[in-house]
Chain A
Amino acid sequence: MDITAGTIALTLIWGVAIGCIYMLLASGLNIIFGVMKLVNFAHGQFLMIGAYLTWTISVAAGLNAYVAILVSMIAVAGLGVVIERLTFRRVLGGEKLNEIFVSLGLIYIFENAALLIWGDQSQQIKSPFYDMSLKLSTISITYDRIVAVFVVIAVLVGFGLLLYKTRIGLAMRATSQINKTASLMGINVERIYMITFALGSALAAAAGGLYGIIFSFNSQSGSMPTIIAFAIIILGGLGSIRGAIVGALLYGITEQLATLFFGGIWSSAVAFVLLIVVLIIKPNGLFGEKGE
């Protein structure tokens, strides 16, 4: 492919769109980590389930794909509550490695259950803007990517309002600081954990819906996004919302530029090189607090 100003501009826009999807996923991961101090390596599997549910709802009920995302967010939030109750609550606060092991078990269960239920063929969600694109002189951008950016902004604004303008958000922020004190202040910490996990899963499901509209996906599609989301919040610094946003955009753009210049094999590798370099220079991430 010729590298012209047009292709670079297009690549940057793609990077921003993909970065936005990762931003949703990373925010969900970040809120779960921030409030519960829980590392959920199965987070991307919620994205995969969210994508499949959106696909099923939009196909079976004939709903608009973007409306189907809302329904699947609610369903995945419910799934998150069940998972939190049955598994993570039992290992929370114990040996840190156990949380990783539980997530690994969940990865195996989700991936293979999805394979059994939805089959091994890749799917893609058909949105109302399917096959339509915006043409600007030499470049053309599909509408879905532009809509994705706006959906992400809308969801993140809603998330921010919930976190900073409501009593539940206040309780979540209090729990994230010191959970014992929060519980002395009359906050039901277990309930906050449940809500947080449901919220994080719903964000992952939203990311999944957008992912499924832009890319084709199968039951294995969850693993890589999890790792990417982790890379993003580590890049930005654990627990930092600003960091997650900057990290996600940086990641998306780097990934797309790497694909443009070095070929598809390198798309994820270059981003990890970036991650390792950042961590060698700043072990706490770009915006991480000292002592985290």
Chain B
Amino acid sequence: MPLQQQITMFLRSKSFQLLVVCFAVLALIPIFITDSFFLFVFTLIFIFAIYAASWNFLANSGQGSLGHAAFLGIGGFSSAIIGGRISNALIGVLGVNSMPIGALSVLIQVSVLLIGGLISAGIGLLIGLACVRLKAWYLAMVTFGFTVIAYSLSSQFDSFTNGINGFAPTTFVPGGYSFYILVITFAATSIAVMYLIMKSRMGLAFRAIHGNEAEARMIGINTAKYKLIAFVISTFFAGIAGGLYVYFIRFVDNSIFSPANSFLPLIMTVIGGLGTLSGPIIGAVFLTSIIQILSLQSVTQSLSSTLGPLFPKVGYAGPPLTYLIIGVILLIIVIFSPKGLTSLFRKFYNYIITEDKPKGPKTK
């Protein structure tokens, strides 16, 4: 099927309408709820939704990465560094007082983020070349190892990256509502693009490789090529998520390469539902809100004051309790509902639908 036809079909499909409605609702929510905490959590949710979706995309081609933080970090570092250089150059040419504002600054911001994504994808291509021949655990180890190497590199070339002490990127789009709109635009576009690719012939090849690599090769799929393509696309979006993340929290240092950041998209995807479109998004909503709400000062304080005395060795029992609970939730979901929350919702939905329907023939 030609691409054009495919896109037209997508534009007419129900999922596209749903996407538009969701987008509109999400764009309007912060107008009604002007609380800054809500805006913060919502922005973070959609940045992580892109990140988790990029991981899910890679997993759909049968490659489980344990080192996506490397690409989050590379995207973040490169867009922050390039953004800084561009802003310095502009100040040199235009002077501090006549810096571009409005549409132009948005354009610069978007292109800086895209460059970050491209650099991440370029490095993803190199790592992908090493990975395509490897089986599951080997791949997981190489990607994880690369994150460790990226951490060392960013510390080693500190004069260039400022990785050890970290730095704040120069922002082009002001924080708050305008940045939120930027994030959900990126999220909607990225997720739509990944969805379209998954629905195309290429996506079919990815799923065939995921199903059984040897059989996929047997029916003539160039598995190495497709795995590499999946790797590059996934790392591109991970890099974009990294850029957005860095510009959103306005800080980047080499702790962005931490294993916790590598595990995050994986846990989100699993909680939401592996291999589904909505899984990573639901997982991002669920996990980000839990982490943010549980780490609110009032919540951690009440957790510490109620349960704290049980653990005298820890000054502040709130955060570890939060992560302990997340671990338990993850175990429960994997063991009792391996398809994630999405499948639970679907079961619940089907249950309600069948409850509503009258049993037996209708009588009037």
Contact = CB atoms under 8 A, between A and B. Distances in A.
B274 A109 contact: no
Most chain B CB inside 10 Å of its own CB: which residue of A105, A109, A230: A105
B207 to A, nearest CB: 15
Contact of A109 (B59, B134, B140, B327): B327
A95 B134 CA distance: 18
B103 interface: no
Nearest to A87: B331
Nearest to B258: A223
A265 B155 contact: yes
Interface stretch (B87-95, B110-118, B168-176, B315-323): B315-323
User: Main SS of chain B's interface residues?
Assistant: helix
Interface in A7-41: 39
B221 interface: no
B130 interface: yes
Contacts of A87: 331, 335
Nearest to B274: A97
B298 to A, nearest CB: 20
B148 A234 contact: no
A61 interface: no
Given A96-B136, A101-B266, A108-B324, A231 B145 contact: yes
Interface in B273-320: 274, 311, 313-315, 317, 320
Contacts of A105: 327-328, 330-331, 334
A6 B364 CA distance: 98
Nearest to B164: A265
Interface string B155-177: 11000000000000000000000
B137 A39 contact: yes
B225 interface: no
Contacts of B315: 120
Contacts of A96: 136
A272 interface: yes
A227 interface: yes
Contacts of B191: none
Contact of A279 (B130, B270, B331): B130
B155 A97 contact: no
Given A108-B323, A112-B320, A112-B321, A268 B141 contact: no
Contact of A90 (B259, B263, B321, B335): B335
A234 B141 contact: yes
B327 A112 contact: yes
B136 A116 contact: no
A268 B138 contact: no
Contacts of B155: 265
A266 B152 contact: yes
Contacts of B201: none
Contacts of B334: 91, 98, 101-102, 105
B156 A275 contact: no
Contacts of A268: 148, 152
A120 B314 contact: yes
Interface string A99-117: 0111011111101110111
Contacts of B331: 87, 102, 105-106, 109
B311 A279 contact: no
B151 A115 contact: no
Interface in A81-97: 87, 90-91, 94-97
A87 B328 CA distance: 11
Nearest to A223: B259
Contacts of B148: 227, 268-269, 272
9 contacts: A106-B327, A108-B326, A116-B311, A227-B144, A265-B152, A273-B145, A276-B130, A279-B134, A283-B135
Given A230-B137, A266-B156, 20 more contacts: A87-B331, A90-B335, A97-B64, A100-B64, A104-B263, A105-B328, A112-B327, A116-B314, A117-B313, A118-B313, A120-B315, A227-B141, A227-B145, A230-B141, A272-B145, A272-B149, A275-B141, A276-B142, A276-B145, A279-B142
Interface of A: 39, 87, 90-91, 94-98, 100-102, 104-109, 111-113, 115-120, 223, 227, 230-231, 234, 238, 265-266, 268-269, 272-273, 275-276, 279-280, 283
Q: Which 9 A/B pairs are nearest by Cβ-Cβ distance?
A: A108-B327, A119-B313, A272-B145, A269-B152, A105-B330, A105-B331, A109-B327, A112-B324, A112-B320
